[in-house]
Each structure stands twice: as structure tokens, then as C-alpha cells.
């Protein structure tokens, strides 16, 4: 894809991570400018946001509810929406973060949230075999913090996964989690409006709207090139995902459709629902292996919330295991190390799958075939977005296309490579302030030379890695970030790296095709600094490049794995109940036991929907 240089600078700037934002004065000025523009247009009646701040009743030192739910992310939002339909159940939702920012509903500007309090700002621990070219050799591990969780700051990519994914999930001893069981939930949660769709697999009345990404000529060229390379155009959330398509996004009339905006915002005034923001849960209260409440801190004070029926963790694949560990549920040796009394010796946090991604495949062009950069800050663009759902502000990081394929090493029929076409580059031209924070040596010697050219790129993701990481406590202090080990490329057979290299070659085949050749396409073939000893385009070169610049796609799962009691790794059963505990469930992506051919936001919504039905079945 191709991008006007000024747009490219805007987009790559907003991808900078939180740990560097305090020194980025220009970006803070941009955030303020966007905020002021939205406020002015709303005050003058030219746009209508339809947003009301979240209010909450006075807080008592001790309170009682039927259900206490921890975490207002994608799963928690769906869960609360459905449980609060039962008017005689009282529900408390506790969220560590605050409200969405004024710009988070705008797709083009929504990633600004990664610079703010909306990002936990996690960094993985330094490992020997990955992130060799990143600053401090530490991988950013982005996680949303606020009402809506990661659905406030993600790229809104709408992918479900495949039948094979969920049937494998069920086959591990988890009845009720096969594809035929879960398809009704995927249909229930969505309102699909894309023009080319597989209606026998799509939903049309749910809270999460599905629209195609904003398109320019470059998106059309990508489709043409992929079809010429042998791929069929598919609705990748239908019968099969193998093929190419315009990207499907969870947006509603052009605006972000997050857990907050589409699940919580419509029901936040229900009388049986209390939502408390900036409320950091420090531990679960447990007696005789029974959860009876939580302790949380708000405004510097400690409070207690009691649960008459259940405590439910929906804090996500990093925070849910941390809370369990702080509460005495987890590997005994780890708990004793921090002076925490062990209650249940479960393998919490001991396995974490994620999608390693190589996003710096770059290409230069002799002209631009995408939108005009000057449109992104015009009043007219904001007005068109809010009033008509149209215009360039519907673009999400210039993402337009997605392609799924099965590698030559795939053991089953499942697709294991994902290629995303992007209209910019996350390093070149950014003055080294992009999402992948490379060393100054790599920036100066590899990417700086492309700063004044039209640049496009592809991201290549490994969907079914053999390698996995883990989450551990760093401290018994609940406000100290846990240790996160990505564990990328640690499989002893080297299968993961081989599949990624195969994906890179396929992306190059498409991007260097005659369809893009009309626009003077050339690869950015200056060797990655640190890999120049290898011949460019050899397997050895690409392995070196991936180990230097491969990064997380932020799709964490399995830290509180689902499985039967006979599974030594399992933390919850197929009804989401923590093994050996009473009145304690986990409802988020941490329970997903197998890798998925999907980004994890839509599966997170699905887990929330199904979790609500499991609870209703039990108590009604």
C-alpha cells in the first residue's frame, strides 16, 4: 500500500507506546489539538457525540452485590450487558482505569490512547532470542486500561477464527466449546453490514457492528494482486477464512464499536448495575476455598465488595492471572517466594500464547494512491464522520486488507499465516518513534534513508505458534507490574521461524506483483543493521531480521487455561469455574486453551456472551 508522507508521519507517531510518550511534546500537542477540535464542534452543534460521563453512587467501606465482576474490557462488557438483563440481580463492575478519551471513538485518531492512561504500558522481560534490535531488548505488551479495556485502543480488526480452532478447543475435554456450540454466540453478538458476506454464518441484530475498512485505490490493488496470485475473495468470518478480503472492522457508522460504546454505554443506567472506575482490585477474598468478595483500592483508600453469588474475573490474560496469584491461587513455589499463603496449587500464568508478528516489510512507490493527508484534521472530516459515518477518519492505521493462508508446515487444514496490507511503515520516516522502538543504530543505518519516499508495508503474523511464554509475579504489591515472558521462537524444532519466513516470502510475492508494479514498487532491501552479514532474502537473513524486529500482536491467551481436572495445566473447567474453588469464575481470553486463527477481540466478546448464559443457566 502507498501513503502520502505527511499522513504516514501522523499515523506512525500515534503508534508510539506509553513508555516514551512523556518526552513526545509534539504528540501531546496533537492529542490536545484533536480534543479541542471535537469539543468545539460539539459545542457549536456541528457534531453530536452522544456520550455522557459515567456516574456512580457514593462508596461505602463495605458493599454487597450478587455478582462482583473485575474488569470492564471486551469480555467483561459483554458479560455485564447480559447479566444486567436480569433485573433482580445486583451487579458491581470494577475497572482499574477511567473513562474513554474524547477521541477514542474516531478510528483514525483512536490509537492516540496508547500514549495515555488508557494503556497499562507493560513491557516483556528481556530474552536472549528475540527483540535483539529493540531498545533495551524488551517487547512492548500493550493492554487497554479503562472502561472498554483493550477494545478502546486496538485496531478494531474483526476476526472470529475457524471451525478447526474451536473444534480443537472442545476436543481437549471442553464440551460446549466446539464450533457448532459457539457459532450462535458469534451470530448473536454481531450486526454485520458488509456488502459481500456469507449470510448463513453472520449475525444481523447484535450490539457489535461490522463494517469494511475505509478503502482507497491501494486496497483495490491489493485485492487484484492477491487474486492474481491465486487467492479467492472470501468472507473470512464465514464458511472459510482462507483467501483475501477487505478488512472487516468493529465500527458503527464509521465510529469505534468497543465494549464500552456498544455493550456498556447502552445499559449503564440500569438500576441494578453499578460501575466503579479507577478501582484497582488487589485480591479476591477467599475462605474455605470459597470466594466471597474482593478488596480494591480507589482514591488511595481500601474498600471491600462482597459477592452473594459469585466473584468473576474479566481482567484479561495478564491481569486475571496476577489477581489470582496475589490471592493465593497459583504455583505454590511462586506464592511462597512472595510470602503469599497458598490456597490452590494451579498452573496460573504458566503458559501464554501470543501471535508474533513481523511488521517492517517495506516497499517504496513512485506515487501515492491513497487519501490526502490534509483531510485528517479538517473540520469537514470530523463532521462527515460523526454525521454521515464517512470520510478518511474512518481509516484505522491505513489498514485495508487481510489475507489468510495455510503454510506448507501446517499440520491440519487450519490457516496459520496472516498477512495485513498497511498504508505506512511503523519505523521508516518516524524519527524512530513508532510502535517498534528500534535501536538508534538500526534506525540510522536501515530505515532513515526511506524517510522522504512513498512507503507501504505488510505485517506477517504467525497464528499457531508452538512457542509460548508466561506471566509471573514480580512482587506481592498489587500495583507492581507482573513479569511477562513472551517466549517467542523458543520451539526446539524451529517450526515457528520457518512459517514466518514463508509468510514473508508470500507477502513479497503479492506486493512485488505486476499489479503494484504499475506504481514503481521496489522492496526496502537495505539490510537490517545487525543482519548485514547474511545475504539479503536468504532464510538466514530473514531469521536474523525476525529475531531483531519481530514483536507481539497483543493477542494473549491461555494464562488461565480451560481444561478438565485431568489436565495438569488447567485452571478453569468448561463452565469457567476455577478448579477446586467455589463461587469463582474467569470470563476473558485467559481461559482460551488453543491458538486461534484470529485476533482476540471478537473471541473475547464471545466468551463474555457464553459466560453470561452459563451463569444464567445455573441460577435461573
Containing H/E element for 221? helix 217-228
CA 352 and chain centroid, separation: 14
> In terms of Cα–Cα distance, which of 479, 546, 547, 561 is closest to 121?
479
Q: What residues are annotated to the active site?
A: 555, 599
The pLDDT value recorded for residue 3 is 38
The pLDDT value recorded for residue 370 is 61
Question: What's phi and psi for 138, nearest 5 deg?
Answer: -125, 135
Report the chain's C-alpha Rg in angstroms.
Answer: 23
Check: CATH 3.30.560.10 for 119-147+195-258+353-552?
Answer: yes
The pLDDT value recorded for residue 435 is 61
Q: Which three three-digit cell numbers place residue 306? A: 462482597
CB atoms under 10 Å from CB of 473, counted, come to 24
pLDDT < 50 positions in the chain:
1-23
Distance in angstroms (rounded) separating the CA atoms of residues 312 and 79: 10
68 labelled ligand-binding: no
> In terms of Cα–Cα distance, which of 15, 360, 16, 353 is closest to 155?
15
Domain segments of the chain as ranges:
119-147+195-258+353-552
CB atoms under 10 Å from CB of 402, counted, come to 25
Q: Which three three-digit cell numbers place residue 129? A: 532470542
Provide CB contacts within 8 A for 38, sequence distance 6+. Answer: 47, 49, 102, 103, 106, 382
Strands (E) across 235-298 are located at: 243-246, 248-249, 251-252, 255-256, 273-276, 280-287, 290-298
Distance in angstroms (rounded) separating the CA atoms of residues 360 and 500: 13
The pLDDT value recorded for residue 20 is 36
Distances (CA, A) of 363 to 347, 367, 506: 44, 12, 14
Contact status, residue 325 vs residue 340, Cβ threshold 8 Å: yes
The owner of cell 466468551 is: 607
Distance in angstroms (rounded) separating the CA atoms of residues 172 and 553: 25
Q: What angle do CA 102, 588, 419 make, to 5 degrees?
A: 75
Letter string b/e over residues 247-276, b meaning 16 or more CB atoms within 10 A of that residue's CB: bbbbbbebbbbbbbbbbbbebbeeebbbbb
CB atoms under 10 Å from CB of 43, counted, come to 9
- Coil, strand or helix: which one is 5? helix
Amino acid at each position: 500500500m502507498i501513503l502520502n508522507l505527511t499522513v504516514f508521519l501522523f499515523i506512525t507517531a500515534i503508534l508510539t507506546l506509553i513508555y516514551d510518550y512523556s518526552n513526545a511534546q509534539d504528540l501531546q500537542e496533537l492529542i490536545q489539538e484533536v480534543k479541542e477540535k471535537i469539543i468545539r464542534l460539539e459545542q457549536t452543534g456541528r457534531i453530536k457525540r452522544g456520550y455522557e460521563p459515567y456516574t456512580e453512587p457514593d462508596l461505602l467501606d463495605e458493599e454487597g452485590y450478587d455478582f462482583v465482576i473485575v474488569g470492564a474490557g471486551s469480555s467483561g462488557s459483554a458479560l455485564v450487558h447480559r447479566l444486567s438483563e436480569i433485573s433482580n440481580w445486583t451487579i458491581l463492575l470494577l475497572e482499574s482505569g477511567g473513562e474513554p478519551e474524547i477521541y477514542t471513538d474516531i478510528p483514525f485518531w483512536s490509537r492516540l490512547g496508547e500514549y495515555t492512561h488508557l494503556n497499562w504500558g507493560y513491557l516483556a522481560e528481556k530474552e536472549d532470542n528475540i527483540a535483539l534490535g529493540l531498545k533495551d531488548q524488551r517487547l512492548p505488551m500493550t493492554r487497554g486500561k479503562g472502561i472498554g479495556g483493550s477494545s478502546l485502543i486496538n485496531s478494531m480488526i474483526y476476526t472470529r477464527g475457524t471451525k478447526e480452532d474451536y473444534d480443537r478447543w472442545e476436543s481437549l475435554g471442553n464440551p460446549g466449546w466446539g464450533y457448532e456450540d459457539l457459532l450462535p454466540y458469534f451470530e448473536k453478538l454481531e450486526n454485520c453490514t458488509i456488502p459481500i458476506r456469507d449470510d448463513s454464518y453472520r449475525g444481523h441484530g447484535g450490539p457489535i457492528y461490522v463494517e469494511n475498512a475505509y478503502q482507497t485505490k491501494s486496497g483495490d490493488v491489493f485485492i487484484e494482486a492477491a487474486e492474481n496470485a491465486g487467492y479467492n475473495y472470501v468472507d473470512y468470518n464465514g464458511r472459510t477464512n482462507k483467501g483475501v478480503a477487505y478488512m472487516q472492522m468493529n465500527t458503527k457508522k464509521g465510529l469505534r464499536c468497543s465494549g464500552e460504546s456498544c455493550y456498556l454505554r447502552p445499559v449503564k443506567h440500569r438500576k441494578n448495575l453499578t460501575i466503579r472506575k479507577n478501582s484497582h482490585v488487589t485480591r479476591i477474598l477467599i475462605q474455605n476455598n470459597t470466594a466471597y468478595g474482593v478488596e480494591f483500592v480507589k482514591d488511595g483508600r481500601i474498600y471491600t465488595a462482597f459477592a452473594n453469588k459469585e466473584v468473576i474475573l474479566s481482567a484479561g490474560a495478564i491481569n486475571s492471572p496476577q489477581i489470582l496469584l496475589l490471592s493465593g491461587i497459583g504455583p505454590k513455589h511462586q506464592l511462597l517466594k512472595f510470602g503469599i499463603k497458598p490456597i490452590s496449587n494451579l498452573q496460573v500464568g504458566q503458559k501464554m500464547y501470543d501471535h508474533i508478528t513481523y511488521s517492517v516489510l517495506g516497499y517504496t512507490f513512485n506515487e501515492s494512491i491513497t487519501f490526502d493527508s490534509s483531510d485528517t484534521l479538517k473540520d469537514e472530516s470530523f463532521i462527515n464522520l460523526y454525521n454521515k459515518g464517512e470520510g478518511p477518519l474512518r481509516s484505522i492505521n491505513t489498514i485495508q486488507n487481510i489475507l489468510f493462508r495455510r503454510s506448507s508446515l501446517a499440520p491440519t487444514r487450519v490457516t496459520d499465516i496472516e498477512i495485513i496490507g498497511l498504508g505506512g511503515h511503523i519505523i521508516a520516516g518516524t524519527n524512530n518513534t513508532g510502535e517498534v522502538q528500534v535501536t538508534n543504530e538500526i534506525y540510522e543505518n536501515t530505515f532513515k534513508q526511506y524517510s522522504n519516499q512513498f512507503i507501504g508495508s505488510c505485517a506477517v503474523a504467525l497464528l499457531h505458534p508452538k512457542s509460548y511464554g508466561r506471566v509471573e509475579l514480580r512482587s506481592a504489591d498489587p500495583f507492581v507490574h507482573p513479569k511477562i515472558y513472551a517466549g517467542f521462537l523458543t520451539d526446539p524444532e524451529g517450526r515457528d521461524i520457518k512459517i514466518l519466513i514463508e509468510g514473508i516470502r508470500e507477502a513479497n510475492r503479492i506486493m512485488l506483483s505486476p499489479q503494484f508494479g504499475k506504481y514503481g514498487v521496489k522492496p526496502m532491501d537495505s539490510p537490517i543493521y545487525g543482519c548485514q552479514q547474511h545475504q539479503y532474502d536468504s532464510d538466514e537473513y530473514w531469521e536474523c531480521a525476525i529475531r531483531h524486529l519481530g514483536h507481539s500482536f497483543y493477542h494473549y491467551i491461555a494464562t488461565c487455561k480451560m481444561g478438565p481436572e485431568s489436565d495438569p495445566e488447567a485452571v478453569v473447567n468448561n463452565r469457567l469455574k476455577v478448579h477446586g474453588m467455589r463461587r469463582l469464575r474467569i470470563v476473558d481470553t485467559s481461559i482460551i486453551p488453543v491458538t486461534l486463527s484470529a485476533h482476540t477481540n471478537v473471541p473475547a466478546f464471545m466468551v463474555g456472551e457464553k459466560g453470561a448464559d452459563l451463569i444464567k443457566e445455573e441460577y435461573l
